[in-house]
Amino acid sequence: MGRQKHPQIVTANDLFEGDVIYLTGEGGWTRLHGDAAVAHDSDEAQRLLAVAQAQPDKIVGAYLADAAIDADGRPQPVHFREAFRTRGPSNYFHGKQAEV
């Protein structure tokens, strides 16, 4: 079992809508970063990534992203890029952008 610096989640883009999505513990997808399944070691991270990559009919561009765990036990973005992706496309002024 390998060690990693941060817990990790799997993120991708919805194949049909393009939205940023996150793999859940049930193997489904959510648009909420805080609902993503969290891997605490590299073996679990690779397993989650394999689950995502086995769904090419639903997603594109799956990868592992570092996360921090908040006081409620939910993953939060560590890096700017991931925090930015939670807000949706930067050229729209509706949807997620209007809520921020």
Ranges under pLDDT 50 in the chain:
1
pLDDT reported for residue 90: 59
pLDDT reported for residue 91: 57
Question: Which 3-state string (H, E, C) describes 38-99?
Answer: CECCHHHHHHHHHHHHCCCCCEEEEEEEEEEECCCCCEEECCHHHHHHCCCCCCCCCCHHHH
pLDDT reported for residue 4: 64
Return the domain boundaries, the chain: 8-90
DSSP annotation of 31 reads S
